[in-house]
Structure 1
Amino acid sequence: MNVVPEPLPGGSALASDYIHQYETVGHLYGGDFRSQESRAERAQWLDRTGSLRADRADVVTYLRRYNGKHNAHEAVLRSLELLEQPETLVVTGGQQSGLFTGPLFVVYKAITTIQAAREAAAQLGRPVVPLFWIAGEDHDWDEVNHTYVLNRTGEITRIKLEKGEGPRSSVSEIKVDADSWIQVIAQLDGLLQDSEFKPQLMELVTASSQGAENMTEAFAKLMGALFGQFGLILLDSADPALRRLEAPMFASMIERNDELETAYLAAAEQIKASGYELQADVTPGNANLFYIHEGARLLLHKVEGRFTDRKATVSFTRTELLELLESHPERFSNNVLTRPLMQDYVLPVLATVLGQGEMAYWAIPHQAFKVLDGQMPLIIPRMSFTVIEGTLHKHMDKYGLSFTDVRMHLDDKRKEWLSAQDELKLEDKFEEIKTAFSGMYEPLIEQLGGIQAGLLKLGNNNKDKIIDQISFLQGKALDALEKQNEAGLRQWERIELSLMPLGKLQERVYNMMYYLNRYGLGWLDELMAVPADYSGTHRIIYM
């Protein structure tokens, strides 16, 4: 495995400035993640403000129960023992649950979280444990119910998990029956080529789904099987047991909702005034909280002093909402702007690992932390990779392709190559013939028009039909040329499908199952051994 940096242009301008020019955007965040001084200051602040957060012992008791069910690895138990100690801090990362762990970047986020916790512990000289915050409260089922793998013939294939009928609820509440799990696992088994590692991998995948009533449970079991050995603690944000611990923060969010709204709106204006685009909606009257009503997750808004959803399905006074929170905390849920505040209440978060889009929208709640006497944690950019297998690397060398060529200019490069294979210069010859024919025929048509006006129109139609026939033959000739170079074109297609599937970076589309099947579970250990890099630079892994 050889790792080479490959800077990528584009992405969020705000996130890019956070990474490369922190001094220009520091007023929107809580500290420079690269600075040991910022880490030390954040740790000291956490030590002074333990009373502002949920009771540490209660949190660990909950995490022991949850991880004991889904992630009962000895290394996780050791992480939880450390977390019980008042000096232990946490580095978090998180994502929605996804089918078979979802896209590769989810795996890279978990790896970044583990490595960042190790590095922080060494720098600060105190325990720092990694925790993955599963956003099970999110309700975008269509975003997480499918995944993509490279099949036996090197083609991209979509696998989709079916669910039962029901309201638009959180992913952790959407029921998935055993038959649906059997169906997607059989699909995966049929798509992956046979290998020495496949039996173990399929056993792992099957075990993760057994008894799993929803996507989040299967995701947690599979993530635990892969990363539990590194001490990665798991948490499901939709767990009713966690909701009871979160209730005091929900109460603060309800009581001080107007102040929080003002903070979000002010931050949004500040971001826009600095020349950046908002990465999340900030609208007046939005309570930035969800209420679960008869299984449906409803976003609350403030209308004439009451909390209601867009369709007025529910409507509460502030007092009524607080009373419901006391009796039914499981009915409340965060959105993207309140989740950072809740995470900071539940855990002593030294730093959190985010992708660039997330880094940009985390600037919106930076003033809201202060409303609740909090402080924004440090932000660490998620590591980003593209895996290039040995055969594909050889193909790229053969055609003189860089990763930038594949990402930006592949169609043009492919056409140039195919044109170079045309020793007869067919395209040029056909174009010459069309030009010559038109040059000879058009003067005759004009002369015929002088004899009879109708002949002009007839002659032009006749010319167009002949040109169409020449073009038809040209197309057939080019098809034959492509057929003659079919083997080479397949190599070009394999490069594209592997590195830029669906026109996107590999890590945003493909699942890790293809690579585990090809290289074994030891591939994960190799990834864990790649040196940490929090510069936001994309890197190429040459296998």
Structure 2
Amino acid sequence: MNIVPEPLHLASRLAQDYIHRFDQVSGLYGGDYRSERSFAERAAWLDLSEDKRTPRKALVSCLRAYNKKHNNHPAVHTSLDSLEQQGTLVMVGGQQSGLFTGPLLVVYKAITIIQSAREAQRRLNRPVVPVFWIAGEDHDWDEVNHTYFLSPDQSLAKVKLDPKDALRTSVSYTKVDRADWDGLLNELQQQLPDSEHKGELLRLVSESVQDAPCLSDAFARLLGGMFGKYGLILLDSADPALRELEVPVFEAMIKRNEDLCRSYQAAAKEIAGRGYEVQAEVAENGANLFYVHEGRRLLLFREGDVYSDRKGLVSFTRQELLDELHKHPARFSNNVLTRPIMQDSLFPVLGTILGPGEISYWAITRDAFADLGLRMPLIIPRMSFTLLDGTVHKYMDKYELTFQDVLLNLAEKRDAWLAGQDKLNLDERFAQTKDAFETLYQPLIEDLGKMQEGLLKLGETNREKILEQMDFLLSRSKSALAQQHEAALAQWKRIEVSLLPEGSPQERVYNIVEYMNRYGLNLVDRLMEIPYEGSGTHRVVFI
């Protein structure tokens, strides 16, 4: 595969500055991810702070049970054996548990986690293992219950999972029964174009959902099937066994809640003061913790010593909340601002792999780490790709389009090309005709108005109708021109829908299953062979 760097300037300005102008934003983050010294200093601090984290043996025991169930590969158990030994570090990144792994960027994040762990191990000459954090505690079901494919007619096809009882609860607690999975698999079979790989691919997907009680389990199985051989450890943040280990961290978050809130707000104020957009809500008196009540995941807020949700469904004093934590730890979960702290409290995190949006909101958490005796880890930008197939590449060459043309002004380029096919010079000739008409007609209606005042108004109305009809004829003529070049315009459409579907980067829309169906089940292994690039530069992969 040929690989070419191409800018993709769709991230927030803060993320862009972090990736390309780190010196300008270094005060908002920890060490410089490009610096050998930062890696060495972070590793040294992790060695000195072993007692600040969950005991390794207890953590690995929990992870071993989960991975044995969903990701039971020898390489994974080798990674777990290594993690159990003091001195082993981790590279970690995560995502919500999307349908069939969700958009391509999820696969790219897993690849980055694995490759960055390899690179860090080479740099430091010590064990570094990859960990994927499945955010199963998240409750935004509508964000994860669907995915997109390119249909045979070159339009965007959506497949969606609709369980019967989808409460506002964690995705890992949202039950999906066999009938729901069967309906989804039937829809997938209809949407995927026929290919030599389709049958085997459908079997793989079917095995991942077989008896899966929730979307998170199916996600873990499919991700493990792709990356388990590379030693990628998986965890589900909603795993009750993991939650038991997290109790001391939640306890610290509750006891230091005012300090955390002040740190988040101070960081948000600084970010805004530098002219950047604050990428996550920092609510006044936000507890930044969720509590599950009667199946619903409620965000807690603090007023003095009382913790409650916005609707008043639950209310606890600080001590009552702590008592509830020890009785029912599975009812507690993190929000977007406390999850980074929980991650660092569990693992010896050398670096965390983040996408552009995540890089932006992690700046809010900088000082909060210190409130719990921690330090922000190195932030490694996720690798970013656009897959460009041979047919689309041929069309781009045919119409002399660069990748940046597609991103920035494809519609203008297409309209200019179509105008170039207009041998009748429609715009010019219609404009000349309208000018000639008005030149002859305007004096006539003015003279008629002298004869009778009402004729002037009637003549002006008549002129507007004639001009309107000319515009209508021009529009119909252009439609006829487009019909003459329908095949060519379909090629332009194929370029657009392949590389920038509905104006979004390809990696945020399409599913990896779409491309495995075209190029084979070994596609992920081929993508794993792309040289690691830790700078966050977007690359086009000619496939």
Q: Same fold (TM over 0.5)?
A: yes
Task: Out of 282-291 and 467-476, give the one that drifted further.
Answer: 467-476
> How far is 1:213 from its partner?
1.2
Match of 1:191 in 2: 191
Deviation at 1:271, TM superposition (A): 2.0
Equivalent in the alignment of 2:323: 323
The separation in 1 between residues aligned to 2:364 and 2:49, in whole angstroms, is 23
The alpha-carbon deviation at position 189 of structure 1 amounts to: 1.4
Q: Does 1:380 align with 2:380?
A: yes
Matched, 1:25 2:25: yes
Give the corresponding residue for 2:211. 211
Tell me the amino acid that sits aligned with residue 214 of structure 2.
Answer: N
Cα separation, 2, equivalents of 1:109 and 1:335: 21
State the shift of 1:315 in Å: 0.5
What is the SS of the residue equivalent to 2:164?
coil
Q: What does residue 356 of structure 1 align with?
A: 356
Query: Is structure 2 residue 253 aligned with structure 1 residue 280?
Result: no
Q: Does 1:243 align with 2:243?
A: yes
- The one-letter code of the counterpart of 1:532 is Y
Alignment match, 2:229: 229
Deviations along 1:359-385, one digit per CA (max 9) or x if unpaired, are 111111111111111111110000101
Quick one: distance in 2 between partners of 1:477 and 1:33? 57
Q: Give the residue type in structure 1 aligned to 2:265.
A: L
The SS at the match of 2:533 is: coil
> Corresponding residue for 2:140?
140
Match of 1:408 in 2: 408
Shift of 1:81: 1.1
Identity of aligned residues (%): 57
**Which residue is equivalent to 1:170?**
170
Hey, what does 2:202 align to over in structure 1? 202
Q: Per-residue displacement from partner, 1:373-410 (whole Å, max 9, x unpaired)?
A: 11111100001011111111110011011111111111
- In structure 1, what is the Cα distance between the partners aligned to 2:482 and 2:148? 28
Could you tell me how far apart the structure 2 residues matched to 1:202 and 1:455 are?
73
Aligned to 1:264: 264
CA distance in 2, matches of 1:277, 1:479: 43
Q: Please, which moves more after superposition, 105-114 or 13-22?
A: 13-22
For residues 240-289 of structure 1, give each alpha carbon's deviation from its aligned partner in whole angstroms, at most 9, with x where no partner exists: 11110100000000011111111111222222233322111112210000
Q: Secondary structure at the match of 1:364?
A: helix
CA distance in 1, matches of 2:74, 2:154: 38
> Which residue in 2 is equivalent to 1:484?
484
Pairing of 1:527-538 with structure 2 (within 5 A):
527-538=527-538
User: What is residue 343 of structure 2 aligned with on the other side?
Assistant: 343
What SS does structure 2 have at the residue aligned with 1:68?
helix
Residue 108 (structure 1) shift: 0.5
After TM superposition, the structure 1 = structure 2 runs for residues 113-124 of structure 1, keeping only pairs within 5 Å, are 113-124=113-124
Distance 1:166 1:5, change over 3 A: closer
The aligned counterpart of 2:302 is 302
1:359-508, aligned counterparts within 5 Å?
A: 359-508=359-508
What code does the residue aligned with 2:421 have?
Answer: Q
Structure 1 residue ranges (4+ consecutive) displaced by more than 6 angstroms after TM superposition = none
430-439 vs 123-132, greater mean Cα deviation: 430-439
The one-letter code matched in structure 1 to 2:458 is L
Does 2:292 correspond to 1:292? yes
More divergent stretch after superposition (162-171 vs 312-321): 162-171
Cα distance in 1 for residues equivalent to 2:265 and 2:137: 24
The superposition leaves residues 444-463 of structure 1 with CA deviations (integer Å, 9 ceiling, x where unpaired) of 11111111111112112222
- Higher deviation after alignment, 319-328 or 265-274: 265-274
Distance 1:475 1:24 in 2: 51
Measure how far apart 1:92 and its partner are: 0.3
Q: CA deviation at 1:16?
A: 2.1
Q: Distance in 2 between matches of 1:178 and 1:449?
A: 79
Structure 1 Cα separation of the partners of residues 520 and 167 of structure 2: 39
Offset at 1:470?
2.1
Cα 1:476–1:18, aligned 2, differ >3 Å: closer, same or farther?
closer
CA deviation profile, 1:492-531 (whole Å, cap 9, x unmatched):
0000000000111101111111110111122211111111
CA distance in structure 1 between the partners assigned to 2:54 and 2:294 by the alignment:
28
Offset at 1:10? 4.6
List per-residue Cα deviations over 1:182-205 (Å, max 9, x = no partner).
Answer: 112211111212222111111110
Which has the higher mean CA deviation after the structures are superposed, 30-39 or 415-424? Answer: 30-39
* Aligned mates of 1:503, 1:262 — CA distance in 2: 38
Q: Which amino acid aligns with 1:322?
A: L
Q: Name the stretch that deviates more: 127-136 or 470-479.
A: 470-479
Residue ranges of structure 1 left out of the alignment (5+ in a row)? none
Give the secondary-structure state (helix, strand or coil) at the position aligned to 1:409: helix
Deviation digits for residues 439-486 of structure 1 (CA, Å, limit 9, x no counterpart): 211111111111111111211222222222222222222111111101
Partner SS for 2:175: coil
User: Residue in 2 aligned with 1:83?
Assistant: 83
Letter in 2 for 1:535: S
SS of equivalent to 2:364: coil
Amino acid at match of 1:243: R
Letter in 2 for 1:105: L
Cα offset for 1:313? Answer: 0.8
**Partner residue, 1:526:** 526
Counterpart for residue 314 of structure 1? 314
Q: Structure 1 residue 167: deviation in Å?
A: 2.7
Taking the aligned partners of 1:178 and 1:264, their CA distance within structure 2 comes to 43
The amino acid across from 2:198 in the alignment is K
Q: Which amino acid aligns with 2:302?
A: K
Return the offset for 1:24: 2.6
Deviation at 1:20? 2.2
Q: Residue 122 of structure 1: CA displacement?
A: 1.1
Could you state the TM-score of these two structures normalised by the residue count of structure 2? Answer: 0.98
For residues 473 and 21 of structure 1, the distance between their equivalents in structure 2, rounded to whole angstroms, comes to 53
Aligned partner of 2:51 in structure 1 is 51
CA-CA distance at 1:27 after TM superposition: 2.1
1:436 deviates by 1.1
Q: Residues of 1 paired with 2:421 and 2:409: CA distance? A: 19
Distance across 2 between alignment mates of 1:270 and 1:458: 65
* Residue identity matched to 2:229: Q
Partner SS, residue 474 of structure 1: helix
| Aligned length, in residue pairs | 543
Q: TM-score, normalised by structure 1?
A: 0.98
User: Which whole-Å CA distance do the structure 2 matches of 1:471 and 1:26 have between them?
Assistant: 57
Unaligned runs of 5+ in 2: none
Whole-angstrom CA distance in 2 between matches of 1:321 and 1:466: 76
Bigger drift between 471-480 and 311-320 goes to: 471-480
